[in-house]
Amino acid sequence: MAKVAVVYWSGSGNTEAMANAVVEGAKEKGADVSLFFCSDFNEGMVGDYDAIAFGCPAMGAEVLEEAEFEPMFTACGPKLGGKNIALFGSYGWGTGEWMHSWEDQCADYGAVLAADSVICNEAPNDDGIAACKALGAALA
């Protein structure tokens, strides 16, 4: 049984809804899943999980949330080499460029993207929830 962490930041609840769908998809495939708000997760925990899904919305000029999520993720980065991870998040403007930059950052860390990243414009619709469940299943 895979041990999966789902780590997220959400301001409006959109990315939180996506995180819950990722958890559901991983559990449906039999994974042992833990859900964390980003302030409750740190680099010392990375090795405790077979796979990690990270979720963060686009902020400002299409960047990760800078006060809590980005510092946590940057601290975890050096420990992600060879780790199966997946990325998800919501946005309200722009083109999703923050996700492409984030994927590049993960590649620089040597992380293995186990599934295509999922982005939703504003609140996730039924297709977005289904994509998040599939992302969770891919990590399991």
DSSP string, 97-112: HHHHHHHHHHHHHT-E
* 106 pLDDT higher than 90: yes
Work out the pLDDT band at 94, boundaries 50, 70, 90.
confident
pLDDT, residue 1, reads: 84
In this prediction, what percent of the chain has a pLDDT beyond 70? 100
CATH architecture of the domain covering 3-139 = 3-Layer(aba) Sandwich (3.40)
Ordered by start, the domain boundaries in the chain are 3-139
Give pTM, 2 decimals. 0.97
Work out the pLDDT band at 51, boundaries 50, 70, 90.
very high
130's enclosing H/E stretch is helix 126-139
Q: Average of pLDDT values for 35-54?
A: 98
